[in-house]
């Protein structure tokens, strides 16, 4: 991965570690509302590729109350190239986690689950329509991942072998 000052302007804007960390935080916090133990690390790797991909985000945003498994079954296009997106987004996911850790916004439990620290991130969603949409969809994914409660099922749903 290139140093920050050597990255193209567009990449610095699109994959800003603070924004990526915020999206991750929203998903983690939403997961904790269903399961207080926190989100497994393996599931957290799926958050950015789903939330930052416009087509995936729009499908989920159009039916936020629908079950994730049912939505993905009806919208198979979500899985096209998903494994590659996850791989390409890993460095940005790790940068987001690094910033969250450095700022004391998350902790890692003994069993490897990621938990949020209360009162470290504002609860209100601010920003452009698109950034707010990313945050809202992140909350949906966090909640749905917790409801499914099985990493293998989530991975298989998106066509990735765990």
pLDDT surpasses 80 at 10? no
Q: Is residue 4 part of a domain?
A: no
26 to 69, 98, 123, 155, 161: CA distances (angstroms): 20, 16, 9, 20, 26
Q: Is residue 106 part of a domain?
A: yes
Q: Is residue 1 part of a domain?
A: no
Q: How many domains does the chain have?
A: 1
Residue 101 pLDDT: 96
Per DSSP bridges, beta strands 106-108 and 113-116 are antiparallel
pLDDT digits over 92-110, tens only? 999 999 999 999 999 999 9
pLDDT digits over 37-96, tens only? 999 999 999 999 999 998 888 988 887 777 888 888 888 887 888 899 999 999 999 999
Q: Is residue 3 part of a domain?
A: no
Q: Is residue 62 part of a domain?
A: yes
* DSSP 8-state code for residue 150: -
Give me the mean pLDDT over the 118-136 stretch.
Answer: 90
Residue 38 pLDDT: 96
Cβ neighbours, 10 Å, residue 129:
7
**CA distance linking residue 47 with residue 23, whole number of Å:** 8
Residue 161 pLDDT: 75
Q: Is residue 57 part of a domain?
A: yes
pLDDT surpasses 80 at 162? no
Q: What sign does the dihedral 111-96-104-135 (CA atoms) show?
A: negative
Give me the mean pLDDT over the 150-161 stretch.
Answer: 87
Q: Report the mean per-residue pLDDT for the chain.
A: 90
Q: What percent of the chain has pLDDT over 90?
A: 57
Distance of CA 131 to the CA centre of its chain: 13
Residue 159 pLDDT: 84
Domain span holding position 25? 10-157
Residue 49 pLDDT: 95
Residue 63 pLDDT: 79
Q: Is residue 2 part of a domain?
A: no
């Amino acid at each position: 991965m290139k140093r920050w000052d050597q990255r193209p302007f567009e990449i610095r804007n699109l994959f800003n570690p603070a924004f990526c960390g915020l999206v991750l935080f929203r998903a983690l916090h939403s997961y904790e509302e269903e399961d207080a133990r926190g989100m497994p690390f393996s599931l957290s790797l799926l958050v950015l590729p789903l939330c930052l991909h416009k087509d995936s985000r729009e499908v989920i945003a159009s039916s936020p109350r629908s079950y994730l498994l049912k939505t993905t079954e009806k919208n198979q296009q979500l899985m096209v190239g998903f494994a590659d997106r996850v791989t390409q987004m890993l460095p940005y996911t790790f940068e987001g986690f690094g910033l969250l850790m450095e700022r004391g916004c998350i902790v890692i439990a003994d069993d490897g689950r990621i938990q949020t620290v209360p009162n470290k991130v504002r609860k209100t969603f601010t920003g452009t329509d698109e950034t707010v949409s990313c945050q809202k969809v992140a909350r949906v994914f966090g909640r749905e991942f917790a409801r499914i409660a099985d990493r293998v099922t989530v991975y298989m749903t998106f066509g990735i072998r765990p």
